[in-house]
Amino acid sequence: MITVSEAKQALFSKVRTLDPIIHPLAESAGRVVAEDIKSPIDMPGFLQSSMDGYAVSSFATDQLLQLQDELPAGSNRSLTLQEGKAIKVFTGGPVPSGATWVVQKEWVEEKAEGIIIRQTKQEIGLNIRMPGSSVKKDAVVLTKGTCLHAYQIAMLASLGITGLSVFPAPKIALIITGNELVKPGDVLEYGQVYESNSMGLTAALKQLGVNQCRLQWVKDDLADTKAAIDQALQWADLILLTGGISVGDYDFVAAAAQQAGVDTIFHGVKQKPGKPLFAGQLNQTLIMGLPGNPSSVLHCFQQYVKPVIQLMMGMQISPAQQARMAQGYEKNTPFDFFVKGFLQNGEVTILEAQASYQVGAFSVANCWVELPAAEFRFSKGQQVTVYLF
């Protein structure tokens, strides 16, 4: 077996960022930009008013300025302001050429035949947005590697951009193994358990933006498991299997992967839960065998699968955090021990029921707490590493 850090280094070194695709802007939240994005236009593209008011060229107050015309927002008329007159303008709408400033509506007295400026504050260009004052044409607005959020998508839409080059989410095949498993909703017979890993992993994948996931259930059978792997290798960028990776009489995942031509990266990690974790590769496809117990599956997803997917999508791996122990704790394993915890205000509480088959703690847990292999006693207030769900 290898250590957690050795396993991560070996696995992550095999990951390749997926080839970029052109993706609709509206569906690109959470995607990583694959190239620098330049603005195709000046924003705004014309002299634009930032106020409802009047475009004027005069700084004179208490004098009647005749109303020449008006330019509503969205108007494509090009007007030239005449000396001694005013043109009514609107927020976001065009400003006529020849205007010195826009006096806002609240600063004037409106008459039937024109306006009288009452406000004394005046300056050239006041309330006028110059072309390109927000974004200039050909300026780089997003650099390669940026993970898009909603505000950036709104910005790109304001520049008329509808699609862009991003790194896609991987296509994932999820293979659930186990003779004892029953789908939720079916009758549970003696000796059977409800299968939950498919729902948990599918939900976790969706949170990462993975929408292409093919799900298959197989019995604990070498031929069936190999057939499922062979089929998945034709399509998937990443294959995940749950169960069947230990050394029992009905654990066939590692042998099936080997028969399918998969090169083993590692099999077994000095960690708890998830000691029998398997990773392999065939050509560009990665394959990972996760344990069957839900806690082990979710821990291995957090520590290994999630970072692999983030790297495939051109993302940075989510960083761990530091927190203070809320209570003392002792562990009895010489491995790295990952326990369910509740993090609040920089302090983490290690919860009860830490066995890999126990799921009750997930009702309140919001993180994994890493307890290093070399330490066995942890004191209240001690700094530990935590990984948020």
pLDDT tens per residue across all 389 residues of the chain: 999 999 999 999 999 999 999 999 999 999 999 999 999 999 999 999 999 999 999 888 889 999 999 999 999 999 999 999 999 999 999 999 999 999 999 999 999 999 999 877 788 999 999 999 999 999 999 999 999 999 999 999 999 999 999 999 999 999 999 988 888 888 889 999 899 999 999 999 999 999 999 999 999 999 999 999 999 999 999 999 999 999 888 899 999 999 999 999 999 999 999 999 999 999 999 999 999 999 999 999 999 999 999 999 999 999 999 999 999 999 999 999 999 999 999 999 999 988 878 888 999 999 999 999 999 999 999 999 999 99
CA distance 331 to 7: 22
> Amino acid letter at 78?
S
Max CA distance (Å), the chain: 98
Torsion (CA) 211, 212, 218, 221 in degrees, nearest 10: -130
Predicted confidence at residue 263, as pLDDT, reads 98
Residue 106: count of CB within 10 angstroms of its CB: 10
- Phi and psi based region of residue 127 (left: phi greater than 0; alpha: psi -120 to 50; beta: remaining): left
pTM: 0.88
Predicted confidence at residue 359, as pLDDT, reads 85
Whole-number CA gyration radius for the chain: 31
Residues 6+ apart with CB under 8 A from 275: 1, 268, 269, 291, 335
Q: What are phi and psi of 190, to 5 degrees?
A: -60, 135
Beta strand pairing status for 163-167 and 329-330? unpaired
Residues 6+ apart with CB under 8 A from 79: 68, 69, 71, 87, 96, 97
Buried b (16+ CB within 10 A) or exposed e, 316-329: eeeeeeebebbeeb
CA 27-33-39 angle, to 5 degrees, is 90
116 is written with which tokens?
């009288």
What is the DSSP-derived secondary structure letter of residue 175?
Answer: E
Predicted confidence at residue 256, as pLDDT, reads 97
What is the DSSP-derived secondary structure letter of residue 13?
Answer: T
Residues 6+ apart with CB under 8 A from 115: 54, 64, 65, 67, 86, 103, 108, 109
CA distance 204 to 303: 13
